[in-house]
Amino acid sequence: MSQIPEMLRMLKRTYPANDFSSAHKSPFEVLVACILSLRTKDETTYPAAQRLFAKADTPRKMLRLSAREIEKAIYPVGFYRRKAKTIRGICKKVIRDYDSEVPDSIDELLKFKGVGRKTANIVITFGFNKPGIAVDTHVHRISNRLGIARTKTPEETEYALKGIVPREYWIDLNELFVRHGQNTCRPISPFCSRCQIRKFCKRIGVTKSR
C-alpha cells in the first residue's frame, strides 16, 4: 500500500484544513461538538457549537444551563432534545468520575452514553493530538471502494487502516476522506471523472459514475 501517503497528500492539497480542529480547542469542546455533529451537516453543527460554547465551555458551566437552554442554543441540529440530555449526562459523568477532565483513552470514552468509536477517535485526535483513525460512513465506504480495505463494519475498517496507513497520516485521514466523500466520492454515482485520486481507486462496487 505504498501509494497511500501520496494519495493522502493529493487529497490534502485538494481539501485544505477546515475549521474543526481550530474551532474547538479543548477535549471537552471537541467531544460536545462531535455529539452535535451526529446526523447533522457541518454548516448547522459549527454555528450551533459556537452558540453553545459562548454560554458554557466547561462541564460545570454546562450543567448550570437547563436542558431547555441547551436545546435553544443548539437548535436546529438533528435530535437536539436528545442531544441536550446526552450532553448533560456526559458533563455529570466527567465531573463525577474524571475530576472534570475528559479522559484521553478510547476505552474510557466509550463508557459515556452516546459516544461510539468514531466520536472517541475524534476526541483523541483533535482534542488530545494523539494518533487515531475515526471511521464514519464516508471513511468506511471510500476505504472499501478504493480497495485498501475489505471490511464489513466501520470498526473493522478502523483496525484495517491502522495496519496499513503510516501513523503520521492517521489524524488527517478522517477529515480528508469525509470531505472527499461529501464533494466527489458520493455513495451513489460518484464523480469519478473529476476524482483527484482516481488512479489509485479500484472502484469496487461502483456501477454508475459521473
pLDDT digits (tens, 9 = 90+) for 41-50: 888 999 999 9
pLDDT band at 25 (very low <50, low <70, confident <90, very high): confident
Q: Half-sphere exposure of residue 154, counting CA atoms within 13 Å on the CB side?
A: 13
Nearest to 22 by CA among 129, 176, 146, 106: 129
Q: 77, 50 in Cβ contact below 8 A?
A: no
In the residue annotation, 118 being an active-site residue is answered as yes
Say which of 42, 136, 162, 172 is annotated catalytic.
136
pLDDT digits (tens, 9 = 90+) for 94-117: 999 999 999 999 999 999 999 999
Question: Rounded to a whole number, what is the distance in angstroms from the first to the last CA of the chain?
Answer: 27
Give residue 42's pLDDT.
83
Give residue 41's pLDDT.
87
Q: Which of 18-22, 139-143, 187-191 has the lowest mean pLDDT?
A: 18-22
Q: 190, 206 in Cβ contact below 8 A?
A: yes
Strand, coil or helix: 63: helix
Domains, the chain, ordered by start: 4-17+133-200 (1.10.1670.10), 20-128 (1.10.340.30)
Q: Is the pLDDT of residue 68 over 70?
A: yes
Say which of 83, 92, 118, 130 is annotated catalytic.
118
Q: Is the pLDDT of residue 23 over 60?
A: no
Length of the chain: 210
In the residue annotation, 136 being an active-site residue is answered as yes
Q: Is the pLDDT of residue 10 over 60?
A: yes
pLDDT band at 181 (very low <50, low <70, confident <90, very high): very high
- Single-letter residue type at 160: A
